[in-house]
Amino acid sequence: MGEKVLVAHASKYGATAEIAEKIGEVLREAGLTVDVLPAKQAGDPSSYTAVVLGSAAYIGQWRREAVKFIKSNQKLLAERPVWIFSSGPSGKGDPVELLKGWRFPGKIKSAVETIKPVDVAVFHGVIDLDKMNALERFMMKNVKATPGDFRDWDAIAAWAKSIAAKLKK
């Protein structure tokens, strides 16, 4: 039986969903069976041999559906290899440095400690002020977030290839 991988994501405007699709594409190219689904539709992950979970991060918080998925499935997730990613920071430079070492919200710290993910990544995100409401635009200006698409597709593909390599061993 081959590896069956779930790539679950929580995206507000679609940028994180596109990162998840790219990860799924790279894993499929490596010969793995992959389902890429929104976290709220992913359901029970017990039929998967590995899980990649990603969420958009806004002001240090994950999307509610990603938090719910990781907390409600932490025992199952602890029994299989899991990779976690956040997308969010804009601007140039290392995303973790831009976030002063932040990798995931404190709200899911105990779940992450239970699961013991193989790796936790942070990718640059997209800030599209045209898609945001007035409060979100105000908050982005307040934190001096740089609008634009800062996703590093090479870094995302390289991370996905490292997942494939681990699963193919």
Query: What's the total number of domains in the chain?
Result: 1
- Return mean pLDDT, the chain: 91
Please report the pLDDT score of residue 169 as a whole number: 84
CATH number at 31 reads 3.40.50.360
Total-model pTM: 0.92
Please report the pLDDT score of residue 153 as a whole number: 96
The rounded distance, in Å, linking the Cα atoms of 22 and 54 is 12
Closest listed residue to residue 121, CA positions, set 108, 102, 106: 102
- Give me the domain span that covers residue 50: 4-168
Gyration radius from the chain CA atoms: 15
Max avg pLDDT among 2-11, 54-63, 99-108, 155-164:
155-164
Q: What's the pLDDT tens digit per position in 88-106?
A: 877 777 777 777 776 888 8
